[in-house]
């Protein structure tokens, strides 16, 4: 039996209901953030049930805070999270492209193109598009290349101060560290209200000294990092109830205090502790003029250990001899606390290079957005250095779309319709930027494409202030290639996953769920007789 429903005045097979429902959810999420794209993109206000307000232009922040219940919408949000985790920038681009691919794919299916052919065409189109992007990239020649600041300025939404800070941080860290897949320059960005923006070689720890009697600053400290509590080994209560157990506790406590005296005698002057610090130990350290920080965040003490060259140890390692323990110590040029903000800095470490970007603002509301801008700029700079750059403003996407047109004649059957979906999605970057700037996207699209063909250039686009055709590369509108290629892969995977879904079935509850519900129902309620 061929069941049909009416959609937009057309009869559609009921078996496409799942695809249409999922496509609608994806398009709704994409529409919620596409208005932020480009230099003229507007902000979004997010309000929670308590009335807390967040005003942002950052795509991933909007998606993270958005209330989404539809499964397909959640899939798209997870795609944006993956883009953020992998590259750190381009979440809006990935979301807009995913929405466009799903929308175009649905249109082709409604025209009668089998889903299998659409998906096959998507795979071919995305593969060819990635090759075209790679052919058009320009390399970045080290951290001193002026292209890096242009990338930071575009990703940083035109904020020159933040762009300069991020580029300085990249220079301090160096290309070798920035090329490490496990290192994220965005993790070096911190924000604080009422401070001057700054960048320095070193790490920032969001904790103050354990005791105010400890020195505020220290020159050339020897650094010990303890991935544990700085306290005697613990015994269970059962052991303490016996005389032997209590004697064992006293022995461990005495040994621990001897170990504290030992590290003081070694000249250790700065101790970072993952967990708590024993009161007696803390007082001994304060009396000896040693700076100690307790409950330091894991991410922070790891950065500090890497920068100073310290090797994190457990408290049991304190039993080692001074000669053995000395191998675990790190060094720095200076360590000091900003007492007003209870932040601690370690500068000029003897280990790997490390930089910290401190972003300041007058108010908490502005502070959060400035931090997000700086993190995006840092991610873009690192991606550009490692993967090259391309013209921005949606111009290179138009050129890649033209390359896809040349692919279609060589394809058999209906696969070409899937390739068309990729070309249409790539154009969406340009048309959305133009629309957000207040111009007619179809008119400007035709002008830009014609100009690019005539000049054989992938740099010609629209000035969002005047609407005139300009060379965006010469104006410094430059994007990192990895942001675009990873966004296209992520959007393509999401689109294929959504298009493949033929049926939506609600999962049954676990077998023991009903039993638990019955038990809850059988429990006496307030006011019931026992």
Has residue 104 got a pLDDT over 60? Answer: yes
One DSSP character per residue, 176-212 reads HHHT-TT--GGGGEEEEET---EEEEEEEES---SST
More confident of the two residues 18 and 449: 449
Q: Does residue 246 or residue 481 have the better pLDDT?
A: 481
Residue 113, CA atoms < 13 Å, CB-side half-sphere: 25
Residue spans in the chain of domains classed CATH 3.50.7.10: 205-347
| Angular region, 202: left φ>0, alpha ψ -120 to 50, beta rest | left
CATH 1.10.560.10 range(s) for the chain read: 4-138+390-500
* Alpha carbon distance 191, 30 (integer Å): 29
| More confident: 68 or 216 | 216
207 vs 57, which has greater pLDDT? 207
C-alpha torsion 8→13→19→24, nearest 10: 10
Residue 11 pLDDT: 47
Question: Boundaries of CATH 3.30.260.10 in the chain?
Answer: 147-194+362-387
Going by the DSSP 8-state scheme, the letter that residue 405 receives in this structure is H
> Residues 195, 201, 207, 212: is their CA dihedral positive or negative?
negative
Coil, strand, or helix at residue 415?
helix
Out of 73-87, 140-154, 245-259, 509-523, pick the least confident.
509-523
Candidates 463, 476, 468, 483; CA nearest to 88 is 483
In this predicted structure, the answer to whether residue 238 has a pLDDT above a threshold of 70 is no
What was the pLDDT predicted at 12? 52
Does residue 372 surpass a pLDDT of 50? yes
**How much is the pLDDT for 235?**
62
Specify the CATH number of the domain 147-194+362-387.
3.30.260.10
205-347 CATH: 3.50.7.10
User: What is the SS3 assignment for 56-71?
Assistant: ECCHHHHHHHCCCCCH
- Cα dihedral: 466, 469, 472, 475 (round 10): -50
Over residues 429-439, mean pLDDT? 94
- Mean pLDDT over 220-234 rounds to 92
Across 196-222, average pLDDT: 92
Residue 508 has pLDDT above 90, yes or no: no
Q: Are 495 and 399 within 8 A, CB to CB?
A: no
Q: What are residue 511's phi and psi, to 5 degrees?
A: -60, -35
Compare 110 and 60 and report the one with higher pLDDT: 110
What confidence score (pLDDT) does residue 527 get? 37
**Looking at domain 4-138+390-500, which CATH architecture does it have?**
Orthogonal Bundle (1.10)
Task: Name the band, by pLDDT with cuts 50, 70 and 90, for residue 13.
Answer: low
Please state, in angstroms and rounded to a whole number, the distance separating the CA atoms of residues 115 and 93: 24
Other beta carbons within 10 Å of 391: 25
The span from the CA of 423 to the CA of 415, in Å, is: 13
pLDDT of residue 530: 30
pLDDT bin (cut points 50, 70, 90) of residue 14 is: low
What pLDDT does residue 246 have? 63
Residue 275: band (very low, low, confident or very high) from pLDDT cuts 50, 70, 90: very high
Q: Which of the two residues, 108 and 512, has the higher pLDDT score?
A: 108
- Examine the pLDDT at 496 and tell me if it is beyond 50: yes
Q: Give pLDDT, residue 520.
A: 40
Q: Quick one: pLDDT at residue 526?
A: 36
Predicted confidence (pLDDT) at residue 144 exceeds the cutoff of 60? yes
């Amino acid at each position: 039996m061929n069941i049909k429903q009416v959609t937009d005045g057309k009869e559609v097979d009921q078996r496409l209901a799942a695809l249409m429902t999922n496509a609608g959810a994806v398009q709704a999420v994409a529409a919620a953030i596409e208005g932020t794209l480009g230099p003229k993109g507007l902000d979004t206000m997010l309000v929670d049930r308590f009335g807390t307000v967040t005003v942002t232009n950052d795509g991933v922040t909007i998606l993270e805070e958005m209330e989404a219940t539809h499964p397909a919408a959640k899939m798209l949000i997870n795609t944006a999270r993956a883009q953020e985790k992998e590259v750190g920038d381009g979440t809006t681009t990935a979301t807009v492209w995913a929405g466009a691919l799903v929308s175009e794919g649905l249109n082709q299916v409604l025209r009668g193109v089998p889903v299998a052919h659409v998906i096959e065409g998507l795979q071919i189109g995305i593969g060819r598009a990635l090759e075209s992007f790679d052919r058009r990239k320009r390399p970045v020649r080290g951290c001193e290349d002026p292209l890096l600041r242009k990338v930071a300025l575009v990703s940083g939404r035109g904020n020159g101060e933040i762009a300069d800070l991020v580029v300085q941080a990249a220079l301090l860290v160096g290309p070798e560290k920035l090329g490490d897949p496990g290192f994220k320059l965005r993790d070096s960005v911190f924000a604080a209200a009422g401070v001057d923006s700054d960048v320095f070689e070193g790490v920032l720890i969001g904790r103050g000294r354990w005791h105010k009697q400890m020195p505020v600053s220290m020159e050339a400290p020897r650094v010990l990092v303890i991935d544990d509590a700085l306290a005697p080994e613990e015994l269970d209560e059962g052991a303490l109830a016996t005389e032997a157990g209590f004697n064992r506790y006293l022995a461990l406590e005495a040994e621990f205090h001897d170990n504290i005296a030992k590290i003081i005698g070694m000249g250790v002057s700065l101790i970072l502790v993952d967990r708590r610090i024993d009161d007696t130990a803390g007082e001994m350290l304060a009396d000896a003029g040693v700076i100690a920080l307790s409950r330091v965040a894991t991410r922070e003490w790891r950065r500090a250990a890497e920068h100073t060259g310290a090797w994190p140890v457990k408290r049991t390692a304190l039993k080692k001899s001074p000669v053995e323990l000395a191998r675990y110590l790190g060094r720095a040029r200076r360590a000091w606390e900003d007492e007003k903000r209870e932040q601690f800095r370690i500068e000029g470490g003897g280990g790997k290079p490390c930089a910290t970007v401190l972003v300041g603002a007058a108010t908490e509301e502005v502070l959060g957005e400035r931090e997000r801008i700086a993190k995006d700029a840092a991610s873009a700079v690192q991606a550009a250095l490692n993967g090259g750059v391309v013209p921005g403003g949606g111009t290179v996407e138009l050129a890649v779309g033209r390359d896809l047109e040349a692919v279609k004649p060589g394809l058999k059957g209906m696969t070409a319709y899937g390739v068309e979906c990729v070309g249409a999605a790539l154009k969406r970057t340009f048309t959305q930027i133009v629309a957000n700037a207040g111009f007619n996207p179809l008119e400007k699209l035709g002008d830009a494409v014609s100009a690019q063909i005539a000049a054989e250039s992938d740099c010609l686009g629209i000035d969002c202030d005047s609407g005139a055709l300009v060379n965006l590369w010469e104006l410094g509108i430059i994007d990192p290639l990895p942001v675009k290629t990873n966004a296209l892969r992520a959007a393509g995977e999401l689109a294929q996953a959504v298009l493949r879904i033929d049926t939506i079935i609600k999962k049954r509850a676990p077998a023991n769920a009903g039993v638990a519900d019955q038990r809850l129902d059988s429990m006496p309620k307030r006011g019931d007789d026992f």
